[in-house]
Amino acid sequence: MAVSRGPFAQGRRLNTFHMRNLRRIIGIKWSDRVTCNNEVLEQAIMPSMYTLLRQRRLRWLGHVCRMEDGRIPKDLLYGELASGKRAQGRPQLRYRDVCKRDMKALDMDINGWEDRDRARWRQELKKSLAKGEEKLKLTSEAQRLKNKEKNSKVTTSDTVHKCGRCDRDCHSRIGPHSHSRRCSSAK
């Protein structure tokens, strides 16, 4: 199994696992041809895994922010290294950086979040997560339609992979080679 790397690899893998299990729980079979994850999420009345991860991270961020000074989680969140070397290349994302990225994606104020009390933080977080989930649905639907349109534009007249003997359209680069070995037509 190939290891997927990158900043969003774990989220993608968790989302895949989440969707697969929701399909099993709801009883959607492969033969039902429900290709849109948004339909599955609507049937399950659940947000996407990306929204759940953002919610957990930002709720923990608010909790740590409200802790009294001297607690280890708060010291780690606000702490800076006085000395040391970083490895060459792009630095690893810190928890604080991931939370800022989440707040930007949800159109939340990045600067004044530490001053909010618990009720106000939860209320703002709930509103922002709902808007963010809607934005995720719209972008995934737009991407789905774009891919569908791109795949439907391929027609038989556009292809360049034709058999030299019988003008058969082979749809792929390896197709004419494979077809020519068994093609009996002669021009």
DSSP code string of 72-139: HHHHHHH---SS--PPSSSPPPPHHHHHHHHHHHTT--SSSGGG--HHHHHHHHHHHHHHHHHHHHHH
Q: Are residues 39 and 99 in the same domain?
A: no
The predicted structure's pLDDT at residue 117? 86
Residues in the chain: 187
Q: Which residues in the chain show pLDDT less than 50?
A: 156, 187
The predicted structure's pLDDT at residue 156? 45
Q: What Cα–Cα distance (Å) separates residue 33 from each residue in 23, 30, 40, 107?
A: 11, 6, 11, 35
Please report, rounded to a whole number, the percentage of residues in the chain having pLDDT higher than 70. 89
Q: Are residues 56 and 130 in the same domain?
A: yes
Q: Are residues 72 and 122 in the same domain?
A: yes
Model pTM score = 0.72
- The number of domains in the chain is 2
Within-domain flag for 36: yes
The predicted structure's pLDDT at residue 185? 66
Helix (H, G, I), strand (E, B) or coil at 163: coil
- Give the residue among 113, 129, 109 at the shortest CA–CA distance from 121: 113
The predicted structure's pLDDT at residue 173? 66
Within-domain flag for 179: no
> Domain containing 38: what range?
10-46
How does pLDDT run across 87-109, given as a tens digit for each residue? 889 888 888 889 999 999 999 98
The predicted structure's pLDDT at residue 47? 93
Q: Are residues 56 and 113 in the same domain?
A: yes
Q: CA 103, CA 113: separation in Å to the nearest integer?
A: 10
The predicted structure's pLDDT at residue 61? 93
Q: Are residues 17 and 65 in the same domain?
A: no
The predicted structure's pLDDT at residue 129? 95
Q: Are residues 34 and 72 in the same domain?
A: no
